[in-house]
Amino acid sequence: MAGTTSTSVQQLYADIVADLVPYYMDAVLLPNQQIIQNSLSVAGSSGSQVRFPLTNTYTDAGTVSEGASIKAVAQSNLVPTAANVTFSKRGVATDVSEESLEDGGLDLVRNAVIQRLSGGLAQATDVAGLAVAKAGFTTHTDTGEGGSNADFTTNFIMSPEALAYAAKREPVVKMWYNPDKDVHEMRGSVRNGFATLRAGFGQKITAHSTIGTAAANVVAIAKGVANLRSSNAPTGVDGTYIGIIDPAFEFAINDQIALAGGTTIASLSDLGNNALRDASLALVAGTRLFRSNNLPDAS
């Protein structure tokens, strides 16, 4: 077991600093180009927010009679707007006593600290982004169960162009030794933010948060996809939308599809067999699904 000399502790600090960002990126869901195409990193610049430029929808051309005014038939002026992302600092603290280093070992402490710091920052980031989605996706009527209290979870289907993300400070950790308490104090932080770009490019689907109780299913997803298509919401490069669902909704979907084609195992469809074998679905009704425990409730 490595000792807790000043050299070994300095190496511990260096390892945590070097590995924090990679661990964070593996743990966080939303700062992902597949889910949010409009992402910026503006570290080192001034200001507490950034603006994502937007344009209004265009007017289709019309049939113009000879000698008639084109403007009177179809005028489509450009009216630029913007969505603002305001940065918020998210932080998490971890204290490690000298006794923990002596008894647990540097490798164990290193891994535990990185997971706590990166996981805490990643969770806070996802919670913030999904809360923005809940507040911003207002165009379409909820296609789920319509719950409005903490017993229900707000799930989402969205276009990759529905939200914007910006980071002012990538995950960092600052550390110091407190000789009075004989404790190594570590503080991780990140500054980032989200904004809704198009309210009609996202769809809310509420479902009961208790596993085995949710009644929302594939039909709710299919209706949501239809609503997004009606708003001309762009898909990703693979032609699909993004779905972010909680475990209870995932179970409800699998439960429905596992019975596709009949009520006995022998009569299952290929889709139903896949649901039983893999216990998850990657693609449903034109939506690529991601599971998250950080979705907001419906209250």
Over residues 17-29, the pLDDT tens digits come to: 888 888 898 889 9
Over residues 230-272, the pLDDT tens digits come to: 999 999 988 999 999 999 998 888 877 765 544 444 444 554 4
Over residues 128-155, the pLDDT tens digits come to: 999 999 999 999 999 999 888 999 999 9
Q: Is the pLDDT of residue 280 over 50?
A: no
DSSP the chain: -----HHHHHHHHHHHHHHHHHHHHHH-SSS-TTT-SEEEE-TT--SSEEEEEE-PPPPPP----TT--HHHH-------EEEEEE-EEEEEEEEEEHHHHHHH-HHHHHHHHHHHHHHHHHHHHHHHHHHHHHHH--SSPP-S----STTEEEEEEE-TTSEEEEEEEEEEEEEEEETTTTEEEEEEEEEEEEEES-GGGEEEEEEESSTTT----HHHHHHHHHHHHHTT----TTS-EEEEE-HHHHHHHHHHHHTTT-SSGGG--HHHHHHHHHSS-SEETTEEEEE-S-PPB--
Q: Is the pLDDT of residue 1 over 60?
A: no
Query: Which pLDDT score, from 0 to 100, does residue 69 have?
Result: 85
Q: Using an 8 Å Cβ cutoff, are 159 and 241 in contact?
A: yes
pTM over 0.85: no
Q: Is the pLDDT of residue 164 over 90?
A: yes
Average pLDDT of the residues in 10-16: 85
Over residues 80-125, the pLDDT tens digits come to: 678 889 999 999 999 988 888 888 777 888 888 899 999 999 999 9
More confident residue, 61 or 4: 61
